[in-house]
Amino acid sequence: MYDPTLAHLANLAPKIRTPATYLIIAARNVGIPLIVSSSRRSVWEQTKLVLSGRSRTLNSAHLRGQAFDVDVVGWKREALPTAFLSSLGEYGEGLGLTWGGRFRTLYDPGHFEL
């Protein structure tokens, strides 16, 4: 299984790297194979996401290394139980992160930012 988590954590700004690591470790400690699937992005990568409708902003925290996305190995994000996503989001918020599951314009439960 390919796990991009360490590379993505290394690409994050130092202030968000620690809570991101805690989130991943907490999930894995209870048997959930959570991975970081996206972190710092180039302007070109972000533009492609906006054009495809998967993002609504060209001023993403991903551009500054202050955001990351998570997924669970073996699951499509949209198939994850809502209760799991809510628990994960609340845990991330307890670590000082902003959770994309509370975004008003684009529900993004796999997204966390500082």
| CATH label of the domain that carries residue 74 | 3.30.1380.10
Residues 46 and 59: their CA atoms lie apart, in Å, by 9
Structure letter (DSSP) for residue 68: E
Task: State the pLDDT at residue 103.
Answer: 92
Task: State the pLDDT at residue 54.
Answer: 87
**In terms of residue numbers, what domain contains 95?**
5-113
The residues, any chain, with a CB within 8 Å of residue 104's CB and separated by 6 or more, are none
Task: State the pLDDT at residue 36.
Answer: 97
Q: How many domains does the chain have?
A: 1
Give the dihedral of Cα atoms 95, 21, 98, 63; nearest 10 deg: 150
112 within 8 A of 98, measured Cβ to Cβ: yes
pLDDT under 70 in the chain at which residues? Answer: 1
Task: State the pLDDT at residue 77.
Answer: 85
Q: Say what the pTM is.
A: 0.93
3-state secondary structure (DSSP) of residue 15? helix
Q: Token digits for 84? A: 């799991």
